[in-house]
Structure 1
Amino acid sequence: MHQQYSNEELEAVALRVREHIVRMSTDGGCFTGASLSAVDLIVYLYSNYLNINKDNLYDPERDYLFLSKGHDVPALYGTLAELGLLDKERLKNHLSIDDYIYWHPNTRIPGIEFHSGSLGHLPSVAMGVAMDIKISGGSNKVVCILGDGELNEGTCWEAVLVANAYKLDNLIFVVDRNHFQANMRTEDLIPLEPLADKFEAFGAAVKRINGHSFDALHEAFSAYPFQEGKLNVVIADTVRGKGLPSIQERADRWFCNFNDGEIEQLLEELHGNHTTLLTSETLIVR
């Protein structure tokens, strides 16, 4: 089974994952702000919840995590590296033609279950896996992480309807609710609220939590299944750019490509050692 970490240990792992994300935000860049919001969710799920480890990646009785919000993959890469599923040295190959570590998940990377990047597709893939498990009489848990902007895709809501029609209470949709999509706030483009009410109207059992609190994550996921015969939905309120005040909750920081000097300053800021935070004039986005 997966290893159980204390909150302090989870926080330490999450910090190192955020370091990896910052370091991948150069030489072509990555979706920095969005990835930082999902770190605590992914670290908790792999460390203290899901039965996934380096020894059972191909065991049919393992649990499954599908990252439908594929551009958050630096957070997944970093977590897999910290937990021994991926060689940390390979993270230096981000965007290299000599490796498969790219802007979106690739199944050639151990621990990645399915390609993603085109939003709205993986809820249905995860639903299909959950249905197969139900039919086979398995006890595996299936988790699918979605972005809140991704919920503009009608396929997400079709998956919710079908999951409830087939009583897939072994399936958990986790919404990384950082209130941004690309370079706009969700509520300024296509408002999602009241989001919990919408999921409930579609038949799901919903919990809304602070997505950066390991206690809240533990309390929510410990209640699985939330209600027999219903899709489980966790709406995790998060902060885009979490850990870096200079880029937090900024619409122009969804994709970042920093130079080496900026990376070093951001790493200092991440550790709380940099008193003069980088401004929009000094941070470069290409």
Structure 2
Amino acid sequence: MAKSSSRLQSFPQGFGVAVLLAGLLACKNAQKPEDLGPDPGSLPQGTVPVGTAPLGTTPVAAPLVPAVAAPTSHATACIPITAEDTTTGSGNALVTLVEFTDLQCPFCSRAQKTLETLRTNYNENELRIVVKHNPLPFHKQARDAALAAQAVQQTSGSAVAMKFIGLVMSNQSELPSTDFAPWVLQAGGDTEQFRTAKLSTAVSAKVDADIQQAKALSANGTPAFFINGAKLSGAQPYEKFQSAIEAEIKETQKLKGTGTAPDQLYVARCRENLGTDTK
């Protein structure tokens, strides 16, 4: 944890979809339901209400390339993580931050800057960030953007997908309606494979699975975060994330001290925290 001393003073402004859903349903009953769906005009924490995203046109099948590996045990965790998810950081990191995002949501764009700072201030063994999609129906280009991001993930991997997501977040006012290829190319992706994958049933099914997972977790707005399973809603200040992450680092270090295997840290903490809110 070589970066710990400096970050404390920094407060700047696969496994298939069926496995993922099975892990979610196993823990659904442990979740405390809550309403995070305020009027869009009254959003003190930057939370936007969510509904059912349209399924769009019928996609066609396309081959997928392997994505970044995730520990197999995480596929059946309370908030499942597989190689189909866009991630940064080690699969055995002390803390896993799962974000449900809408790529057209302005509050998600604001939160993106905080996540980028977190990636700078915590090393890969301390913090893993996982992006899942929850496009809101009243953001007309959000689902198309989610399909594009997932297609980049499937064809070019997490590093390129994270860059692509950053480009979309930084240029929301210029969201194209049909062609994301220039941004894919800028992020370092393969545009031909991207175009095919974006129409695939696998990409569409993954986005739909993320949406259903968000609903089951009562993540009724974007952005919504789960820090080792503990919920944090809205575009919160950096300090709020930092406090929660530091607390979880201490808890997972305690688990390691008792002999818990590295690939079981997230599983154990997620099971303990699911249904609670970040303090």
Structure with more contact order per residue of length (Cα contacts < 8 Å, sep ≥ 6):
2
Higher helix share: 2
TM-score, normalising length: structure 2: 0.29
TM-score, normalising length: structure 1: 0.28
